[in-house]
A and B are shown apart, each in its own frame.
Chain A
């Protein structure tokens, strides 16, 4: 009994540690005072100012556009490559896997500066497109790593059977293989989306004139001085994530029932 209580208490403390800062940010987003830490009245004006701030809205748009696009492209390239890698001879497999691990194991900052060096050397225009390229680069390996185990567990005769029964290779892939490995593809895609959403380093180094993502915007805002607009932004983002979470949970329940 005591043991259980200790466990509960411990878990509670850890969750408190995780969530306290977020909840305080939410609370402060309604605080009227800009500079002082103390409470000086309820207000919604930071939310109004947030949406008036064109650069923040643009940053939000860029963040989601890059996250969705890079996750999609990475999922497509990653799934195709995983299938190719799966069928390779062990020696080629090794080479490819090492290359795949490169962006996973390389620190973000090295990926960022090395891509900057590449883009500058190629005289490319830094901006939305270069950030997107960077994100696809570090996202694709995660998709490959998520899809490969599913391919390993896939019954190889399924595809052959489909082909024998007269399916074209395309049909066999879309009707037989893809549904089987779908969980891995979805996991990989979601992972890519999350990583892209959360990225700061790669975007920070590969961005150019005036293209911000949310992370870059927050970074420059903290440098320029603390604005409660950031608190309002965190609140909205957190509520968004939370409702997505609740939605997923209830959907899962529905499926089970």
Chain B
């Protein structure tokens, strides 16, 4: 083929900026550390062993748990929403969908910051409840796991609605009508037809919410007030404060392996083209 050379720029780019960095990280994760944190090229398994200590496994478990909870909430809230939008008239549909994506265009940090303002002791929610006399003292809404989960759901829910919607919108209405004509109740229609057919979208959605949720450090940092440490915070801390790049690299490697496993499992449920983003 004549056009093969066209792939060379990208191949080089990917080699230098996608693959080489990961190789470097992989190498660092097996290197020793000098007292002040310099990298010593001597093989050690120390950093992986360290991660197996209970406190770090606990962080791993908590990150997975929080990400799973956020994903489930996103699914439960987002799926009906995607259905409602997909059933709307064509003109309305586009506007409704755009409205869903619009907040994504304001900055991610600003969206998270908005919740900091809302949940403060003297924020609008507490002010409202106080003035209505429902509570006597401000509720402590900020700086806990609940706030972190909320932040994740808020930031990532469009990633659930988008793929589910795109599958539902493409679905053949005739199937549903046929089922109804054959006497299926709406619950049956949903369980036997809509849900199975939308699975590729759901799987995409789950991946797209779970991944950023499990690796974030900003949401837990801002809304958790330094109390909720997740994998992302641990990595960030090792690189930018504790000067232990080796340990940070090891955690990153473990996280990548986990994600590869998750992807392999989920890819079984996904047809080759289906449930894409676009």
Contact = CB atoms under 8 A, between A and B. Distances in A.
A238 B105 CA distance: 8
A87 B1 CA distance: 7
A58 interface: no
A35 to B, nearest CB: 8
Nearest to B218: A200
A218 interface: yes
Interface string B9-31: 11101101111111011001000
Contacts of B263: 105
A218 B107 contact: yes
Interface residues of B, number: 80
B252 A7 contact: no
B77 A110 contact: no
A84 B4 contact: yes
A28 B19 CA distance: 45
A116 B22 CA distance: 11
B146 interface: no
Nearest to B28: A117
B95 interface: yes
B235 interface: yes
A38 B18 contact: no
B249 A113 contact: yes
SS class, residues of chain B in contact with chain A = helix
Contacts of B98: 245, 249
B114 A117 contact: no
B81 A118 contact: no
Contacts of A145: 276-278
A22 B103 contact: yes
B99 to A, nearest CB: 7
A137 B108 contact: no
Contacts of A62: none
B19 A102 contact: yes
Interface string A107-119: 1111101111110
Interface of A: 7, 10-11, 14-15, 17-22, 24-25, 28, 36-38, 77-78, 80-81, 83-85, 87-88, 96, 99-100, 102-103, 105-111, 113-118, 121, 133-134, 136-137, 140, 144-146, 149, 187, 194, 197-201, 205, 214-215, 218-219, 222, 226, 230-231, 233-234, 237-238, 241-242, 245, 249
What are the 8 closest A-B residue pairs judged by CB atoms, nearest first? A37-B122, A107-B215, A114-B21, A84-B7, A21-B114, A81-B10, A84-B6, A218-B109
